A and B are shown apart, each in its own frame.
Chain A
């Protein structure tokens, strides 16, 4: 039962996000990075499958700059066996599609029964990579997965997906791509021996050239979407409490404010 987990490094949920003065991107200096929490569910699920079936390899595949090694090591410390790090400036500036394509190109040559992705990354919230990856690999996928049950013969998987107002149960043949939703599991906390062992586990560096994709299809050049402008949301102003003698008076004032100040009605 070999699993691949695609992992993205993202800024910590509480990190201060500032925008570059020219609005071209966000500033990532002094920011604490973490494993995308949804990807972490994927890591945990892969480890659980490994524990259940034994004789398995869990491989982390991560696309991102050098700093991502820290997150890769964290996943290895949790118990993943090895990792592939797609680290090349040529891959920078891409979007979900270039990422999925590069990942697919890398994964194609690997042995796997199942691929886990997070349902989305918490930085750009695009929620595209997992699904696009499945398309590029031409295998089925299910997203927003909150329960995974691989059959004993390792031929198919039954998953519960979160849908509005309930759950949907699907059966997929393996291999397939599953994108993890909160609720799938509780990711483990790496043990200290795990952390120490992770330092010695194999992390294979992969360059753009190794992927044999032409330059126009990777990184910024290959992206289908371009960031035009980044800006911070306007600071929230304090709420206003509408005062008045009677409810009628308050309602009248509120209507006036909504019309004249907020221009909402």
Chain B
């Protein structure tokens, strides 16, 4: 995904993101208050205002390829401070959904974590931390980090072998079915 060219119709791209995220990104005047407070800006390729700038230029490939959209911690500092009421955490969620639907996931671990987490919820109705972490570690082939920590937690009675499950799993599975593949 190296394309630097504007893809498709820029104004329809902006409309789509405004519609899906519910955020008035057209109002951004690049004051960079979001960037100044961003929890992750020190570690990412673009800052939140730069993400908006790229969208305004129609450079959606660059946006979807950015690690910012996956490393955003949803701390919501940007949204709390933006003079134009733009909550970039919501925009990042919308961009992640677009990236997933296009099969462009730049930070694969994060997506694998979310899949492991929701897999546990789908199965049990609640997250079973021990198996969720194991699933994630298998998916990422990172089997040995945090083993000490896992052992300590187990010894202290903070990890359970068996999951606690909700009873009404029929309702749960209806909810998962009805929300599958729905964007926005």
Is A bound to B?
Answer: no
Seen from chain A, the residues whose Cβ lies within 8 Å of a Cβ on chain B are none
